[in-house]
Amino acid sequence: MTAAPPILRRVLANTGVLVGGRTANALISLAYLALAARALGVADVGALLLINAFAQLVGDVVKFNAWQTVLQYGAGPLAAGDRAGFHQVLRFTLFLDIASSLAGAAVAICLALLIGERLGWDMNRNGPAALYCLSILVMTPSTPIGLLRLFDRFDLIAAQAPVGSTLRLAGCGLAFLTGASLPAFLAIWAAGTVAAFAYLATAAHAEMRKRGLTHGFRWLGPLSAGLPGAWKFAWATNLGSTLEVAFTHALTLAVGAIAGPAPAALWRVGRQVADAVAKPARLLIPALYPELARLRATDGEKAMRRLASQVGLVGGGVGAVLLLATVAGRPLLTLVMGPDFAPAAGIMVWQMAAAAVGICALPLEPMLISLGRPGDVVKVRIVVGLALLAALPWAIGTFGLTGAGAALLAAMLALAAGMYTMLQLGSHKAACTNVPVRAKDGE
């Protein structure tokens, strides 16, 4: 039996690897974005960013989080040496990836051609935008990500984004020197997406071959037969991630609709800074999932809860430091964004507090999903999201942006309380028992 402290150290080490990769990617991304801005100007680079954001949004909404299914259903067969069972899980998740990618690309292309000008760019850019939406086919290689997480190869995952960004940087540099137009930059960004996908797929295949898991794999065969609750799990995790993405965008749009564009800009800037500061701690989540999946397949729920508690304590410490960072909010915003954005510092205190609550509670959702109960996550997110949107008009009308910040903090507290309640209520239920759990000796 693996002791908890070494597992926690592995979670923290993998998180550090991911943070390093994200940091490198952020610096490279800033460089190629600066080149694009200087080459295209405000209007065209705005269209470039809108088209890319649109493709990413459609991809995030339509595509399944197949990596969670890989961990949930693949950890048991992998630990037991059941290669045929592992191949079935892989076949199912690849089907999810391929089907959702085709659907996402088709939806995005149709929308770009039909209503592209309503999405923020000119009608004459609808064609290039539609072509760019083909990149959705390879935008989220979810199954390779799940495999590498299961194999504890976070170093390979961390290199994915820098690989694509480095290609974009080289391409944007060449385009800048040659005076290329928007379609060329779209092609360069799409090429970066393809390169990142090819790298990750190749790395995952190499890791499978190293473990002897490629032998005997067949594309044709049973998908979900013998995987109880697999479709329900896949749909629930997809809906949960969609609600999480929509939560951020819907909140910004609601603030803009109620208070106007200027307050919405202050809100968005404050939220972006708070999210950026909290990002390293949130990278604990992808490092936590495979450990929970392995513990569920071998040691059981008690060991999972112990690890989740340890990660929660780490998150609590990070959250406390995060709140202290709000002291530098006003001078930091003034320096980076200009004096007009200094008023965002006040609202950022509330947003930082909400982010700190989310960090403290970050093990709760992975625990529920790893126990095969993503539906409980969806229920909590729907209830809290609807309550927040219903309360915003009164909160903003009465207290301005401070009311929006207080409502966000209350929503995060309610989200944490709801997840914890769901976890406690279902602690003795065997939901989605697709993987047999072996009790530890002496329990």
pLDDT for 443: 34
Q: Is residue 302 part of a domain?
A: yes
Cα 282 versus chain centre, distance: 10
Residue type, 438: R
Q: What is the mean pLDDT of the chain?
A: 79
Residues 179 and 282 in one domain: no
Q: Is residue 324 part of a domain?
A: yes
Residues 144 and 249 in one domain: no
- Give mean pLDDT, residues 134-163: 87
The band of 262, judged by pLDDT with boundaries at 50, 70 and 90, is low
Instruction: Using alpha carbons, select from 68, 62, 66 the residue that is nearest to residue 101.
Output: 62
Asked if 171 and 188 count as a contact pair (C-beta separation under 8 A), the reply is yes
Residue matched to tokens 């060449």? 174
Integer Cα distance of 138 and 60 in angstroms: 12
Residue-level length of the chain: 443
pLDDT (tens digit per residue) in 85-101: 899 999 999 999 999 89
pLDDT for 430: 44
Residues 91 and 190 in one domain: yes
Residues 24 and 104 in one domain: yes
pLDDT (tens digit per residue) in 129-138: 899 999 999 9
**Least confident interval from 46-60, 182-196, 295-309, 386-400:** 295-309
Instruction: Using alpha carbons, select from 205, 210, 196 the residue that is nearest to residue 158.
Output: 196
Q: What is the dihedral of CA 15, 18, 20, 23, to 10 degrees?
A: -120
pLDDT for 1: 42
Instruction: Using alpha carbons, select from 162, 128, 183 the residue that is nearest to residue 27.
Output: 162
Buried b (16+ CB within 10 A) or exposed e, 344-353: bbbbbbbbbb
Residues 206 and 241 in one domain: no
Max alpha carbon distance in the chain (Å)? Answer: 71
Integer Cα distance of 149 and 289 in angstroms: 8
Residue matched to tokens 């405000």? 42
Q: Is residue 354 part of a domain?
A: yes
Residues 183 and 234 in one domain: no
Residues 34 and 167 in one domain: yes
Residues 179 and 113 in one domain: yes
> Which of left, alpha, beta for 141 (phi over 0: left; psi -120 to 50: alpha)?
beta
- Among candidate residues 182, 210, 238, the one where a domain is terminated: 210
Residues 199 and 234 in one domain: no
pLDDT for 3: 44
Domain range enclosing 18: 4-210
Cα 295 versus chain centre, distance: 23
Q: Show Cβ contacts of residue 343 under 8 Å, excluding neighbours closer than 6 positions.
A: 266
- Among candidate residues 155, 179, 210, the one where a domain is terminated: 210
Integer Cα distance of 402 and 398 in angstroms: 9
- Among candidate residues 210, 244, 270, the one where a domain is terminated: 210
Q: Is residue 443 part of a domain?
A: no
Residues 171 and 270 in one domain: no
Q: Is residue 246 part of a domain?
A: yes
Q: Is residue 215 part of a domain?
A: no
Domains in the chain, number: 2
Tokens (6 digits) for 394: 């009164």
Q: Is residue 196 part of a domain?
A: yes
Q: Is residue 225 part of a domain?
A: no
Residues 312 and 396 in one domain: yes
Residues 206 and 310 in one domain: no
Start-to-end Cα distance in the chain: 13
pLDDT (tens digit per residue) in 281-309: 777 777 777 777 777 777 677 777 877 77
Tokens (6 digits) for 2: 């693996």
Residue type, 61: V
